[in-house]
Amino acid sequence: MRQVSYIVGLILAAILVVFAIDNGAPMTISLWPLPWQATLPGFIALFIALLIGFLVGATAAWLSGAKARKRARNLADTARAQAHQIAEQERRYAASRAAAQPAPTTAGALPPPR
C-alpha cells in the first residue's frame, strides 16, 4: 500500500511540475478595494489560492466537529468516573467478603508435627 501512495505522489508531483513550467507567465493580482497589486507567476497565484481554500475548508471542518469532540470528551470523562466507581465497589466487596469469612479455629485440629 505504501508503494502505491509513493507512485501516486510521484505522478502528482510530475503533473505539478509540468503545470508550473507551462504556467510561468507573470500575472498581476489585485484585490479590488485595496490599493495593493502583486505580479506573480500564474502557478504561484493558483497554488496560493488553493492553499487559502484548503485552510478555509479545514477550519470549517474543524469548527463543525466541535460539538462531537465535546461529546466525546464528556463520554470519556463519564467512562473514567464509572470505571473508578466499579473499582471502588469491587474493593469494598472483596473487603466485606474477607470480613465475613470466619477465622480459622484450632479447636479439634491435629497438633502440628514435630
Whether residue 43 sits in one domain with residue 22: yes
Going along the chain, which residue ranges are E strands? 26-30, 37-41
- Within a domain: residue 85? yes
Number of domains forming the structure of the chain: 2
Domain span holding position 79: 66-96
For residue 53, what is its C-alpha cell?
481554500
How confident is the model at residue 108, as a pLDDT? 62
Whether residue 59 sits in one domain with residue 21: yes
Q: Is the pTM of this model over 0.85?
A: no
pLDDT exceeds cutoff 90 at 100: no
What average pLDDT does the chain have? 89
CA atoms of 86 and 92, how far apart (whole Å): 10
